[in-house]
Amino acid sequence: MYKCYDYCYIGERCFELKTKAHSDDITEVPRDDKPRPYVCTVCGKRFRKRCRLTDHRNVHTGVKMYKCTLCDKRYSSRTSLKSHMNVHSSKYKCTECGKCCNSTTALAEHRRSHSGEKPFECTVCSKRFTTAVHLVSHSRIHSGEKPYKCHLCEKGFSVSSSLHCHMRVHTGDKPYKCSLCDKSFRHSGTLQTHKRCVHSDRRPHECPYCGKLFKSKKDVKYHIHIHTGAKLYSCRHCSERFSSRDSLKVHRLKSHNEGTYLTCNICHKKFSKSGHLKVHLLQHKGVKPYACGECTKCFYTMSHLRSHQLVHTDHKQFCCGLCGKDFKRRESVVRHFKKCSDELGFSRM
């Protein structure tokens, strides 16, 4: 057993990554002293060949020119595509779960998911990671460095994958399609959340106060505010506090002109959220796509339909954390909680 030292460039500093070599770790780090005359003007990375620099620039622009003929995945460089093809050939296959990786390095990193090993430690906050790449990305939280810039809006990102996802905002590309409905999404995580929240009854997230189960972390986080009455999000321009990021964002836009409004191209009404504008446009068209299965009523949004469906049931899913009274609707329990806390003399954050 011996120690291996890697040095990762992050912004203006080099972070030393101390790891212990493992007998099963087949990671190979190429080292050479060959000249690298071609320099990326965005991040400073150097290359031996001009074609490698040309491919590398696609990382910053989000362009993926090279397409896999077997699965239609796209990559920004020939090297990335070549590595990806190893997945189809099963050249680097995990003996424990059968997953195919694109390189010896990726296979070694994947094996750590079985062993639980996290050899890379952040020197600032001591958080540990399974790969050096994840550590480098995390370290940019402390340094504030965002080397990957969108060439259309100049927005910066700490990792290239975030830039790739961001580019879909400009292109309108939504490659992740739901197999159960016609909806498409920009991110695979959003698709998984959609399937769990819309097409599944599974509720893996539990409220620590009342034990109520929710489909997403966002839902349970919002629900906890009902028990605590906490307003965790403060405005940097004034002393106002809010219980959700969305409420704070709307406040900044309306009160401090931070951000931009979305305008209806028919009546020129302004909106702070794209979802609100989308519903407003349905009103112009007279389209109510969400129909109740118990009666003939239709609604513009799924939330309005779900609220209406409570009329057909006696189930009360919301509980006041102070007095225990049950309510059918979230809005009702929020109003009651404020009244209840004032009567009891509790001060909310």
Higher pLDDT, residue 314 or 90: 90
Average pLDDT over residues 223-233: 74
Question: What are the helix (H) ranges across 172-301?
Answer: 188-198, 217-228, 245-256, 274-285
Q: Given a cut of 60, is residue 170 above it in pLDDT?
A: yes
Q: Predicted confidence band at 62 (pLDDT cuts at 50, 70, 90)? A: low
Residue 226 is predicted with a pLDDT of 67
Biggest CA pair distance of the chain:
75
Q: Given a cut of 60, is residue 17 above it in pLDDT?
A: no
Residue 347 is predicted with a pLDDT of 45
CATH code of 207-344, in short, is 3.30.160.60
Q: Predicted confidence band at 212 (pLDDT cuts at 50, 70, 90)? A: confident
- Predicted TM-score (pTM) of the model is 0.41
Residue 215 is predicted with a pLDDT of 76
- Cβ-in-10-Å burial (0-12, 13-18, 19+) of 32 comes to exposed
Q: What percent of the chain has pLDDT over 90?
A: 0
Give CA–CA dist 91/85, Å, rounded. Answer: 9
Question: What are the helix (H) ranges across 294-329?
Answer: 302-309
Average pLDDT over residues 187-210: 79
Q: Given a cut of 70, is residue 177 above it in pLDDT?
A: yes
For the chain, the average pLDDT equals 76
Residue 318 is predicted with a pLDDT of 67
